[in-house]
Structures are given as C-alpha cells and as structure tokens.
Structure 1
Amino acid sequence: MARRTKVYEGKAKILYEGPEPGTYIQYFKDDATAFNAEKRDVIDGKGVLNNRLSEYFMVGLNTIGVPTHFIRRVNMREQLVRVVDMIPLEVVVRNIAAGSISKRLGIEEGTQLPRPIIEFYYKDDALGDPLVSEDHILAFGWATHQDLDDMVGLAARVNDFLSGVMTGVGIKLVDFKIEIGRIYEGDFQRLVVADEISPDSCRLWDAKTGQKLDKDVFRRDLGNLSEAYTEVARRLGVMPGNSTTMPKPKLMN
C-alpha cells in the first residue's frame, strides 16, 4: 500500500491527503490531552470511539440540513472529509455552567443557564486559546459580520440537535465546542461544521446521577475514560450493548 502524505497532525487527529481532490482522510488517534497538552496519555480505543461517535453526529446534522465537512467513514479510525478553509475560532455553546465559565464568573458548576450562551475562543495553543469578543473577531479579520451571524446560527442548530439526541438517552448536554470552516463553490462560499463532535469536545453528564461521560473524566482523574466514552456510544446505539471496549486497529501506511 502506498504511503500517504500527511497534511497536518494535531493533538487528537491526523489529516492525510484524500483519494480525490478537495478531500482529506481524517485519522483519530488514541492520544488524550488536557490543560493545553500539559497532561497527556494514550487511551486504547479512544480514537475508534471518537471516530464512530463523530460520524454519528455529523451524519445526523447532514440529515437535518446542517452542513458539515463529513463525507463518509472509511474504517474504524478514519473518515473521508472535505477540505475546508478553517476559521481560527472555537465556537462554544454552554447550557449549564461548568469549567472555565464557572471559574471566570463564580457560577456554581451545574447551574442551569437562563439561555444557551455562545462564546468564541481564538485558536492558538501558545496563547491558551483565549476568549475573544465579536469586536476582536471583526477587527482582526478572522470572520465577517455575515460569518458571525452564520456561525451563531449553526451553533444554535447543532445545540438543538445534540440536546435532543442526548436527552433521549438520559444524558445532559452541558456544553460543547465546534469548529467551522469555509467551503468555496465557484464565487460563493458557505460555512460548514468541521473537525469533530465527540465526548472530547462536549461535556456530557448522566441525567440522573450527574456522572461525567466526557473528557473531564481524564482531566479530573475520575475513572476510566474509555469506559465513559463507550457508555455514550452504547446509549446512542453506535456499538453493541454487550461490548465493553472497541478494538484498536493498526494504521496501515
């Protein structure tokens, strides 16, 4: 098999040139990181779980008319995605206070917010991905007024979809992060949800017990991260209910 050309490697994924122009192969690694990669580990099977879960959410969004970069899953660790021009922002939607907003504003973790709050963070690991305002975004040319309107609209629709899906399986969607990119079609562009949607990028709590089923398990040393992600996959029907782990296939170059 011919060796593939690596385009980019991040903390949790690798992008390779795709089989067709305008496509990438997105490979999900088993690496777990927190606190801007100051805490690291390798969790067997994590990449498989995130690949399958992100596929589930992206397909669901495409089905209801929310555009994404996802084309199809290639295997247990990889998906075929469209090449997009990424906007250098993380879009965070918060339904319940947790994490940094609790620390910044002194709101007790677990407090239901009066309405979903949408925040923007500038993607720069060296700066710790700082919180930025719409004025910052416009002043530095990271996005236009129309982009911001479209990003807020996409984030709200993703929140509605994910909240409904999670409520149906007894999970609270506390907050989540998405990334958005531009796809150019002739003289026109449109914004699409890109990167991934998985327990790596969401806070998910069991609706009855409050048990954390997301990366906070790793951040706060609360137990087995693979088991937490597997429970989310089991409830969503992404994997058989009698499975407790998912296999770790080898990467073939």
Structure 2
Amino acid sequence: MARRKKIYEGKAKTLFEGPEPGTLVQYFKDDATAFNAEKRDVIDGKGVLNNRLSEFFMTGLANIGVPTHFIKRLNMREQLIKSVEIVPLEVIVRNFAAGSFSKRMGVEEGTPMPRPIVEFSYKDDALGDPMVPEEYIIAFGWASQQDLDDIISLALRVNDYLSGVLYGVGIKLVDFKIEIGRIYEGDFPRLIVADEISPDSCRLWDIETGRKLDKDVFRQDLGDLADAYTEVAKRLGVMPSNVTHTPKPTLIN
C-alpha cells in the first residue's frame, strides 16, 4: 500500500493519511524513549512486536464489545485505524503500586490497590504530562462529566479484559495507560479506545518471578527490551513459542 501524507509523528508511532476518508495508517517505529524522551534508543523489531500485540489486544476488546479505533493490520508495522478526535488525556489504571505512584504516595512497589484506581494526566510533553483532577478536566473543557463517567467505565472494562488475558499466561497487569478518542456518528459523539495497547503502555510483571516484561526494562537498564516484548508475544500466542527475538520477528497470522 502506497504511503500517503504524514499527519503526525510521535515518539513511538507515525500517522499517515488513510486510503479512505475517516481513516489513518498507524506506523509503529522502533524508537524507545523514557523520562519524557530524555533517554532514547532504537530497538530492532520493537515496532513489529507492538503492532502485532496492539492488534491482539484491540481485537480482543472489540470481541467483548469495547469500541476501539482499530480496523485491521496492514503489514508488519502498519495498521489501518479510524481517525478520531483525541481527548487530551492519558487515562491510567493502577492495580498495583509502581513507578511514579509509588514515589508520589510513598507506597512500596508491588502493593495491591484496594481496587483499581483510575487517574488522568494532561497530554503535554512540554509540561511533563502532569496529573490532573477531574475538576480541571471539566473546567477546561477537555471532557464533560458524562464523558468522564464513560471514560472511567471504558478504562475499567479494558482493565478487566487485559488482567484476565494476561493472568492466564502468567503475567500480572500492574498498571496501564490508554487514550480515548471521539468519533461522530451523525451529530452524536462516541468515545472509543485509541492509540495503542502494548508493553510500551503497560507494566507487566511475571507472576512467579516478578521479572519485568515492559518498558521499565529500558527505563531501568534491566536487559534487552525486545526480548521482554517477545516473551509477552510468545505467551499470548502472537509468536511461536520456540523462537527467540530477531530483528524481524516471525508473526502468526
């Protein structure tokens, strides 16, 4: 498929004009960043793995009735998605204390939450994506109270699905973040899950050993990031279980 006009380029993905109105092509890059892009590297095969893993999760969500922007995977690095108006928030769901939450609240990493906690950060790299309360979100018009209720409901449904699927392959879903987009059906807006769901956007720990299988491997210099992502893909059946990471992973269609 011929690549079209570039619409947007982020740290891990690039969006191109889609083949039909209302569509985009999402390209997954091999770039890895951490600490608001202060730490950077290129990890061979990372984009391929994230493309396939995000397809796996988005398809699974659609199968249980959670609306997403995903239409289909086009090739090893690209997928066709619906064009959406992104709500300028990162929606974070925490099942266990980790990362910035542990530092901010003084809670030891790995401590279970009494219930899944949903937080919001304002999407602005220049500000470091600051945490924001619901009052700010409503006051500045980023989302209405009804939107927030719907976003929280969506986030918790995503959490239920991801937690169950990952637990079944021996992985603990510590936390994750998603983005939400608006699409319009006639004059009526509808909220759907957008962006990606991959080890870039989730904290994933092996249930038995506590080994980290997410971007913290890169953040904390714990080993080969692509090997960690490959392990997740193998457990979920996205890659054959008898292969190791290569720059061009073999995928199961």
Instruction: Answer whether contact 2:199 2:229 (CA < 8 A) is retained.
Output: yes
Paired residues, number: 249
Map 1:47-58; keep pairs closer than 5 Å.
Answer: 47-58=47-58
Please report how far the alpha carbon of residue 2 of structure 1 lies from its aligned counterpart in structure 2 after TM superposition. Answer: 4.9
Gaps of 5+ in 2: none
* 1:212 alignment counterpart: 212
Instruction: Answer whether contact 1:16 1:25 (CA < 8 A) is retained.
Output: yes
The 1-side partners of 2:74 and 2:82 are apart by 13
Structure 2 SS opposite 1:241: coil
Structure 1 SS opposite 2:27: strand
Letter of the 1:200 partner, please give it.
D
Structure 2 SS opposite 1:218: helix
> In structure 2, do the counterparts of structure 1 residues 63 and 3 end up closer, same or farther at CA, with 3 Å as the change threshold?
closer
The 2-side partners of 1:108 and 1:245 are apart by 32
Instruction: Answer whether contact 1:48 1:246 (CA < 8 A) is retained.
Output: no
Please report how far the alpha carbon of residue 248 of structure 1 lies from its aligned counterpart in structure 2 after TM superposition. Answer: 3.7
> In structure 2, do the counterparts of structure 1 residues 246 and 84 end up closer, same or farther at CA, with 3 Å as the change threshold?
farther
Identity %: 78
Pair 1:185-2:182 in alignment: no
User: What stretches of structure 1 move > 6 A for 4+ residues in a row?
Assistant: none
Aligned-pair RMSD on alpha carbons?
Answer: 1.1
* 1:150 alignment counterpart: 150
Please report how far the alpha carbon of residue 243 of structure 1 lies from its aligned counterpart in structure 2 after TM superposition. Answer: 1.6
Letter of the 1:136 partner, please give it.
Y
Given the two structures, how large is their TM-score scaled by the length of structure 2? 0.97
Letter of the 2:60 partner, please give it.
G
* 1:42 alignment counterpart: 42
Instruction: Answer whether contact 1:18 1:80 (CA < 8 A) is retained.
Output: yes
The 1-side partners of 2:113 and 2:4 are apart by 46
Gaps of 5+ in 1: none
> In structure 2, do the counterparts of structure 1 residues 4 and 248 end up closer, same or farther at CA, with 3 Å as the change threshold?
farther
Deviations 1:10-30 (A, max 9, x none): 000000001111000000000
Letter of the 1:81 partner, please give it.
I
Instruction: Answer whether contact 2:169 2:235 (CA < 8 A) is retained.
Output: yes
> In structure 2, do the counterparts of structure 1 residues 3 and 25 end up closer, same or farther at CA, with 3 Å as the change threshold?
closer
Structure 2 SS opposite 1:230: helix
Given the two structures, how large is their TM-score scaled by the length of structure 1? 0.97
The 2-side partners of 1:3 and 1:166 are apart by 34
The 1-side partners of 2:71 and 2:2 are apart by 22
* 1:137 alignment counterpart: 137
